[in-house]
Amino acid sequence: MQLSISCRIAERFLSKREPSMSLEELASLAVDAGYDAVCMRASQIGVQSSEDQVTATRRVLDDRGLAVSMVTGDFDIVYNNEHGPNCLREITPYLDLAEALGAPLLRVCLKQPEDIPCAQAAADEAAERGLTLVHQCHTLSLFETLDGMVETLKKINHSNFGLIFEAANLEGCRQEYGLEAVQRVAPWIRNVYLQNQQLNSEGAVTLNTWCAGPVSFDITQIHEPGGIDFESVFDGLKAIGYDGPVTVHQSGPEDGKTSPVAAATQTAAYLRELWN
């Protein structure tokens, strides 16, 4: 397992543009908390960044011995909005960014069936560079439900187009996410996102879904009980022999009591214990 921490730790849950810490601070947090890699997002470095900024980012990470597990290159993909699939229609800058950062995976977005041919063409271009495109289990996308993601992945039918398995979005969409779900999508899993929540009809956060309507929940830290059954997720990953990145995709704590460093450290220890 490559334990990775997302730049999400330096973002608020609903505000994903402005980072709460510098890249140097984030990289130092990752090292101190025991992570192997950083999952890069546009709040730190994206296709909007200059070549000098990208080079400086690579230097900061190299100096600390950190890999880049995956890149999410723009804010439209991050927000999963109607412009998210535009990356598929001009994939070259995104591939350039992933290559410059040494990231094997590049996250993309599909919203409608007409995005599938664009995903195939983008995957062809990515294959020329030895890169893999991936899509997260995500609300309001072709990857909301297990049936939908399997159907879409089969239609794309490219070995270098895979899945970011993510239990919280599956739970919100009223989907299974444990052993059987992991086994069903096993051929496509290239990354695993982890974030925690407790479903609650009066929860602090409400997200819309196509398949289940509005879903409300409270955000909790990954190592806290009562939310996602991460043990069942890891049972599934072990059963399929998964050995890729496992990424903490948790936003920064907003309770005013827990620091990002403390949360990241507790989470890393919890996940390594689950894995062993």
In sequence order, the 6+-apart residues with CB closer than 8 A to the CB of 80 are 109, 111, 138, 139, 140, 141
More confident call, 20 vs 33: 33
Q: Give the pLDDT confidence of 116-148 residue by residue, as tens digits.
A: 999 999 999 999 999 999 999 999 999 999 999
Distances in whole angstroms, Cα of residue 258 to Cα of each of 25, 43, 235, 251, 264: 17, 22, 29, 12, 10
CA distance 165 to 161: 13
| Helix, coil or strand: residue 4 | strand
Token pair 């990231």 is at which residue? 103
The bridge status of strand 215-220 relative to strand 196-199 is: antiparallel
Q: Give the pLDDT confidence of 79-108 residue by residue, as tens digits.
A: 999 999 999 999 999 999 999 999 999 999
Can you read off the two tokens belonging to residue 195? 């974030």
> Hey, what CATH class is 2-275 in?
alpha beta
- Per cent of the chain over pLDDT 70 is 97
DSSP codes, 55-98: HHHHHHHHHTT-EEEEEE--HHHHHT-TTTTHHHHS-HHHHHHH
Q: How confident is the model at residue 18 (pLDDT cuts 50, 70, 90)?
A: confident
Classify residue 208 by burial, with Cβ atoms within 10 Å: 0-12, 13-18, 19+: exposed
Domain spans of the chain? 2-275
Distances in whole angstroms, Cα of residue 276 to Cα of each of 1, 65, 71, 189, 190: 10, 23, 27, 20, 20
CA distance 264 to 223: 10
Arithmetic mean of pLDDT, 15-44? 93
Arithmetic mean of pLDDT, 55-60? 97
The pTM assigned to this predicted structure is 0.96
Q: Give the pLDDT confidence of 169-185 residue by residue, as tens digits.
A: 999 999 999 999 999 99
- The H or E element that residue 202 is part of is none
pLDDT above 90 (res 210): yes
Q: How confident is the model at residue 240 (pLDDT cuts 50, 70, 90)?
A: very high
Distances in whole angstroms, Cα of residue 208 to Cα of each of 118, 153, 251: 26, 23, 19
Distance of CA 14 to the CA centre of its chain: 15
pLDDT of res. 142: 98
| Helix, coil or strand: residue 235 | helix
**Range with the poorest average pLDDT among 175-184, 217-226, 238-247, 254-263:** 254-263
Calculated CA dihedral for residues 96, 99, 103, 108, nearest 10 degrees: 30
pLDDT of res. 89: 98
pLDDT of res. 170: 98
Q: Is 122 within 8 Å of 147 (Cβ atoms)?
A: no
pLDDT of res. 259: 84
Q: Is 140 within 8 Å of 80 (Cβ atoms)?
A: yes
